[in-house]
Amino acid sequence: MEQLIEQLKAQIIEALNFEDMTPADIDTDAPLFGEGLGLDSIDALELIMLMDREYGIKLADPKAGKAIFQSVRTMAEYIQANRTK
């Protein structure tokens, strides 16, 4: 799980173009939206694309995104349970 979390942080940085940020700068349990990383709705779409592209996960229910994208840890847990690649 820890390896997946670190990999996911690097992928988030690349997908969202946070080029001066390192994985160590992202708190695993901090909120991704609002506080914490302060992501917006466009970033949410990027994260959905990232999960599809890298892990073969298609989010069929947009409402589920709120729980999945609470933090990097909740994302990683969902990916581990649902990844197809």
Taking the least distance from each CB to another protein, the nearer of 43 and 70 is 43
Burial class of 79 by CB neighbour count within 10 A (0 to 12, 13 to 18, 19+): buried
Using alpha carbons only, what angle is made at residue 54 by residues 46 and 32, rounded to the nearest 5 degrees? 40
Shortest distance (Å) from residue 80 CB to another protein = 21
Taking the least distance from each CB to another protein, the nearer of 4 and 48 is 48
Q: Catalog residues that contact another protein under the rule CB under 8 A.
A: 15-20, 38, 42-43, 45-46, 49, 52-53
Taking the least distance from each CB to another protein, the nearer of 53 and 66 is 53
Of 2, 4, 5, 1, which Cα lies nearest the Cα of 72? 5
